[in-house]
Amino acid sequence: MIFFNKDEQLENLGNGILDATWAAFPTLARNQIALTWVVYDPPVRVNTGGALTPNAFWDHPVRGFTYRGVERIYPASVVKLFYLVAVNEWLEKGMSQISKELERALQDMIVDSSNDATSLVVDILSGTTSGPELPIGPFETWKYQRNIVNRYYQSLGWEEMETINVCQKTWGDGPYGRERAFVGELLENRNMLTTNAIARLLHSIVGGVAVSSTRSQSMMALLKRPLKDLSSDGEENQVTGFLGGGLPENAQIWSKAGWTSQVRHDAAYIELPEQRPYLLVVFTEGKAQAKNRDILPFVSGRVAEAIASL
């Protein structure tokens, strides 16, 4: 079962937003965008720091709209959200210990989207390290260990996680040595996510039920993005050119963006004054789309308008 209920009102609004987007960006093909949008109707049960037990939270119905939400797409840095939750699970279970370096890496992985920080996090999660190619036997063991995060998400029993792949590091120049062998000759083993899977994970964090309420709150603290304090211009800024770029200044956003020369993505939980809070995940693919810093803010602005009409 998908975690949200499909709903005619959101279906109409969502399709209208997509039509407006295609009209505004004629080069955006129908198969170059995927979207999942979840609305929290009153009485709101999210961002409370875990006021509900996990069972009560998951029983609380939410409604949503999705377009191509089950398509497997290369997620770029949005995968870091999955590593963030996994590390918190490991810490909670005593499988890893917190250290100053791990804390610094988690902060830099989420706030600045550092690939080097992510590399350390993946090493800690899997007990593996990058390096030269390995002989067949040791490499099989190494690969098995590297798939531990996949096994964790499979163990949750969520339908949305059945098709995902989250086992690769994120790179600037790309993988070398055993990492290159692991991703596959044709990159067939690269990370793959769906907007529905990301929405479900973010929903659990916002609901305060990802690992524990305390850990969910600490993850939310890392994901919070100031809309006004745009400390860095250019691509490193995860607001401009992403979903935060389409919001009014009095909005609040918790998000994790991802981009390469081929994709531009964002996943966000958003609160607008006096409106229903909502969750929005938008993926765009293609070289032209990846460069375009207007598509995600456009979609985000239209969704914010639609929320005001509910």
Q: Does 129 or 231 have the greater pLDDT score? A: 129
- For 163, the token pair is 């098709």
Is residue 195 within 8 A of residue 217, CB to CB? The reply is: no
Residue-wise pLDDT for 221-280, tens only, equals 999 999 975 555 555 689 999 999 999 999 999 999 999 999 999 999 999 999 999 999
Average pLDDT (70-90) is: 98
Return d(Cα 137, Cα 143) in angstroms, integer: 10
- For 111, the token pair is 């706030």
Which residues 6+ apart lie within 8 Å of 22 measured at CB? 28, 30
Return d(Cα 245, Cα 293) in angstroms, integer: 9
Angle among Cα 213, 219, 222 to the nearest 5 degrees reads 145
Return d(Cα 122, Cα 85) in angstroms, integer: 12
Please state, as a whole number, how many other Cβ atoms lie within 10 Å of the Cβ of residue 115.
Answer: 16
Residue-wise pLDDT for 283-292, tens only, equals 999 999 999 9
From 43-52, 90-99, 111-120, 178-187, the region with the lowest mean pLDDT: 43-52
User: pLDDT band at 20, cuts 50/70/90?
Assistant: very high
Label residue 305 left, alpha or beta by phi (over 0 means left) and psi (-120 to 50 means alpha).
alpha
Average pLDDT (13-19) is: 98
Cis peptide, bond prior to residue 43, ω within 30 of zero: yes
> Looking at residue 234, what is its pLDDT?
58
Residue-wise pLDDT for 31-40, tens only, equals 999 999 999 9
